[in-house]
Amino acid sequence: MTNKKIVFSGIQPSGVIHLGNYLGAIKQWIDLQDKYFSIFCIVDMHAITVQQEPEELQKNIRELAAIYLASGLDPKKAIIFVQSDVSAHTELAWVLNCNTQMGELERMTQFKDKSQRHKQNINAGLFTYPALMAADILLYQTNKVPVGEDQRQHVELTRDIAHRVNNKYGQVFEEPEALLPEVGARIMGLDDPTSKMSKSASSGNNYIAMTDEPDKIRKKIMKAVTDSGSEVKFDEEKKPAISNLLTIYSLVTEKNIKSLEKEYAGKGYGDFKKGLAEAVVEFIEPIQKKYKEYIDDQPKLEKILTNGAKEAAKLAQPTMENVRKVVGLGVAND
C-alpha cells in the first residue's frame, strides 16, 4: 500500500484530554505525519470498557476529533477515524484474544489499576482490552506506535502476540515497536508529582485540560505543588515537582531546560509559575481557537471521520482476509 513506514496510534474518548496526552502522544504525531504513513484513531470501543453515557460518549468522540485536528493533525497527510466505524478491529481482536494467554493479560498494570478503580465493573472487556489494542495496531501492518510511557507494556504485548501468530501461521503481521518521546513520555500530576497526570485523577487540579479556560490554567498552575527549597532546578529525585513543571515549560516553549534554569536563576517559584502559566496559555490558546471552529462545524468533522473510516477499512481488508485464510475461518466468497 505504501513504501513508507506505518505509524498508528489512538486515544480513548473518555473525558478530558489533558496536556499529558498532548505532550506524551499528540505532539509526536504532528511531526510523524510528514514522514510516515500515519493513521490516528479515536478508540471508542476501548472507552466502553468502563461505564459510559451514550450521549456523553458521542460528544467525547467529536471533541477528541476536534482536538486532533486543532492540534495540527491533517486529514490530507494522515488517516483520522473512529475505531468502531471499522468493524475489522473487533473482528481481528477476537482472533488475537484466542492467541493471548490469561497470564499475559493478568500482568498488565493498566488492568490492575483500572480493576482497582472500577471494582463494581471488572468486565471481560477490561481484561482483554490489550488484545483489541493489538488488533488496532496489527491490522495496518504498523511499524511504529507513538505513545506515552504508560502504554509501552501494551505495545510490547502486541509485539509478542504478532510474533506468536507469525510463528504459527507464517508472516501475517509486522512486529511493531513503541515510539516514546525523549522528553514528556510521563508528565506528572500538578497536585502530585509522584503519579502521572491523569484524566481519572480525583481532583481537577491534577491536570490541565486542553479545553481549560486561560484563567483556569493560570489558577491550576499557581496551585501546583512545589518542592522544598526555592531554586528552579531540574532534579527529578530531589525536586520532582519543579522538574515536571520545567519539562512542561520546555515542551510548550521549545526552550531547553538549561536555559529556563538560567532565566529563573535567583528568582523564586512564584515568578517561575507565573512565567509557566503564561507560556502554557500562549501555547494552548491557538489550539483552542481552532478547536472551537471544528466543534462549530459538525458536518465538516463528520465528513473527515467518514472519509477516514472508508480509507482505514480499505487498508485493513487485506490483513483481515489473510488472517481468515491462514487461520482457516469461513467459507463464503464475496
**Per CB under 6 A, 147 contacts ligand TRP:** yes
Q: Rule CB under 6 A: which of 211-270 touch ligand AMP? A: none
Identify the CA nearest to 174 among candidates 217, 198, 139: 139
Does the annotation mark 199 as catalytic? yes
Q: Whose Cβ is closer to ligand TRP: residue 8's or residue 173's? A: 8
Q: What is the dihedral angle through the alpha carbons of 98, 102, 103, 107, rounded to the nearest 10 degrees?
A: 110
Pairing of strands 177-179, 144-146: parallel
Q: Does 197 bind ligand AMP (CB under 6 A)?
A: yes
Which residue number, 81 or 249, has a Cβ lying nearer to ligand TRP? 81
Among 7, 9, 184, 301, binds ligand TRP (CB under 6 A): 9
Least spacing, CB of residue 20 vs ligand TRP, in Å: 11
12 binds ligand TRP, rule: CB under 6 A: yes
Q: What is the smallest separation between the CB atom of 148 and ligand AMP, expressed in angstroms? A: 2
- For the four alpha carbons of 308, 311, 314 and 319, in that order, the dihedral sign comes to negative
Q: What does 187 interact with, of ligand TRP, ligand AMP, none (CB < 5 to 8 A by kind)? A: ligand AMP
Identified catalytic residue from 27, 196, 220, 239 = 196
Judged by phi (left if over 0) then psi (alpha if -120 to 50, else beta), residue 84 lies in: alpha
Look-up of cell digits 468486565: 123
Angle at alpha carbon of residue 91, lines to 90 and 92, rounded to 5°: 90
262 is catalytic: no
Cα–Cα distance for residue pair 178/270, rounded to 1 Å: 37
Handedness of CA 273, 269, 263, 19 (dihedral sign): negative
Is the CB of 105 or the CB of 201 nearer to ligand AMP?
201
Residue 168 annotated among the catalytic residues of the structure: no
Q: How many residues bind ligand AMP (CB under 6 A)?
A: 16
Q: Does the footprint of ligand AMP cover residue 209 (CB under 6 A)?
A: no
- Tell which residue, 91, 97, 88, has the closest CA to residue 164: 97
Binding status of residue 176 toward ligand AMP by CB under 6 A: no
Report the alpha-carbon distance of residue 170 to residue 99 in Å, rounded.
14
145 is a site residue for ligand TRP (CB under 6 A): yes
Closer to ligand AMP by CB, 148 or 275: give it. 148
Q: Does 25 bind ligand AMP (CB under 6 A)?
A: yes
Stretch that binds ligand AMP, among 49-57, 62-70, 184-192, 295-303 (CB under 6 A): 184-192
Residue range at the interface with ligand AMP (CB under 6 A); choices 117-125, 148-156, 170-178, 210-218: 148-156
Q: CA-to-CA distance for 260 and 272, rounded, in angstroms? A: 9
Helix (H, G, I), strand (E, B) or coil at 301: helix
Return the residues of window 16-75 that contact ligand TRP according to CB under 6 A.
Answer: 43, 46
- Kindly report the backbone phi and psi dihedral angles of residue 188, in degrees, each rounded to the nearest multiple of 5, phi listed first: -95, 165
**What is the crossing angle of helices 269-295 and 214-223, to 10°?**
150
Candidate list 199, 216, 255, 267, residue with the active-site label: 199
Q: Which residues bind ligand AMP (CB under 6 A)?
A: 11-12, 20-21, 24-25, 147-148, 150-151, 185-187, 196-197, 199
Q: Which residues bind ligand TRP (CB under 6 A)?
A: 8-12, 43, 46, 133, 136-137, 145, 147, 151, 154
